Amino acid sequence: MQWILQDFSDTHMLAETLDRLGIAYTWHKVVPFIGRLEPEAVVSDKRNVVMFGAYSLWRTAAAEGYWPGVFKLRPFVEEAAWHPYLLNGADAWFMTVRDVPTLLAGDERDWFIRPVEDSKEEPGNVKSAAEIVDMVEKVLKLEAKEIPKGSLRHDTRLMLTKPARILREWRLWAVDGTVVTYSLYKEGSRVVYRHEIDDDALEFAQRMVDVNPGYSRAYVIDICRTEHGLRLLETNCINAAGFYAADLAKLAVAIDDMRFDPSEVVLASPPEDLFAVYEED
């Protein structure tokens, strides 16, 4: 596998692991939101390339037809197999940015809010209804052409749920149907990075992977322990997610061992509207 890395602190951790494993890689800067590499990558086999760094790298991966390139994901909240296990999934409220002022008018509650797509336009966090309205009104004052790529847009779909008391949070990395590594990243409100996980939490995460086998060949899944049991928080793009205290050797070997399946489509020249779709998210 040819590894292409964006030059920043988290990928330096990965590079140290690749060095120990004797796996070659190249460093590149990435033009923000566009995903273009500087310098351009010299690739010998487009069906044997993986990229780690900014989420926008998917654009280069798609344009060049790299496999696996960047593993893009469907919105996890729309995966029926996971609905019974989502944190407050049954109570989720979906709306576009332009609908927020009307739907939250007069609302005095706090909400956990995040974009439906894994596009990093706004990190998941808890805000009051008034704060959410204030945030989106600033967006709505702008014309579409004035909004920077990668920012909230008028038609960005948002998910709002009631805040829940979370006791512990873990991130796990799944490759070809198996959880290969994990990391604790939060205890209560305290951020902690430790390579540990409760046995039942590991079993729960693997079960989440098992019940939705066609989701993606590689992704990150975040789970949590609440007062009412274990729940699925969200999924993230494995190429752009923080590593925390994961065992990067296990992750690197699992990805490096992946092999191209002829049934999988590689975009050699994506449709002209492919990028437009995501620029309008």
Q: What tens digit of pLDDT does each residue of 75-129 get?
A: 898 899 999 999 866 677 888 999 999 999 999 999 988 888 766 667 778 899 9
pTM across the whole model: 0.80
* pLDDT in the model for residue 119: 62
Q: Which of 65, 38, 71, 39 is nearest to 52 (CA)?
A: 71
What whole-number distance in Å separates Cα of residue 122 and Cα of residue 160?
Answer: 13
Task: Report strand pairing: 25-30 vs 68-69.
Answer: unpaired
Q: Please tell me what DSSP assigns to residue 57.
A: H
Please report the pLDDT score of residue 236 as a whole number.
93
**In this predicted structure, what is the pLDDT of residue 265?**
55
Q: Are residues 186 and 232 in the same domain?
A: yes
Same domain, 169 and 156: no
Whether 78 maps to a domain, the answer reads no
Same domain, 153 and 181: no
Q: How many domains does the chain have?
A: 3
Model pLDDT, residue 149: 75
Of 117, 156, 119, which Cα lies nearest the Cα of 35? 119
**Residue 38, both tokens:** 């500087």
- State how far the Cα of 55 lies from the Cα of 216, in Å rounded to an integer: 16
The pLDDT of residue 90? 63
Domain boundary among 139, 161, 183: 161
Q: Which are the contacts of 265, defined by CB distance < 8 A and separation ≥ 6?
A: none
Q: Who's near 12: CB < 8 A, 6+ residues apart?
A: none
Q: How confident is the model at residue 28 (pLDDT cuts 50, 70, 90)?
A: very high
pLDDT at residue number 120: 62
Cis peptide before 39 (omega within 30 of 0): yes
Among 18-32, 118-132, 263-277, name the most confident range. Answer: 18-32
| Burial environment of residue 197 by CB neighbours within 10 A (0 to 12, 13 to 18, 19 or more) | buried
pLDDT of 46 higher than 80: yes
Q: Identify whether residues 110 and 126 lie together within a single domain.
A: yes
Dihedral sign for Cα 69, 74, 79, 85, please.
positive
Residue (of 39, 43, 32) closest to 66 by Cα position? 43
Mean per-residue pLDDT for 181-198? 96
Q: Is residue 278's pLDDT more than 80? A: no
Query: Mean pLDDT across the stretch 220-226?
Result: 97
Residue 89: predicted pLDDT = 66
Q: What is the rounded distance in angstroms from the CA atom of residue 179 to the CA atom of residue 202?
A: 8
% of the chain surpassing 90 pLDDT: 67
- The average confidence (pLDDT) of the chain is 88
pLDDT-derived band at 177, boundaries 50, 70, 90 = very high
Q: Which domain holds residue 136?
A: 90-161
Query: What number is the average pLDDT over the span 238-257?
Result: 97
- What is the pLDDT averaged over residues 165-178? 96
Query: Environment class of residue 257 by beta-carbon count within 10 Å: exposed (0-12), middle (13-18) or buried (19+)?
Result: exposed
In a domain, 256, yes or no: no
Contact 237, 72 (CB under 8 A): yes
231 part of a folded domain? yes
How many whole angstroms separate alpha carbon 113 and alpha carbon 100?
A: 11
Task: Tell whether 94 and 151 lie within a shared domain.
Answer: yes
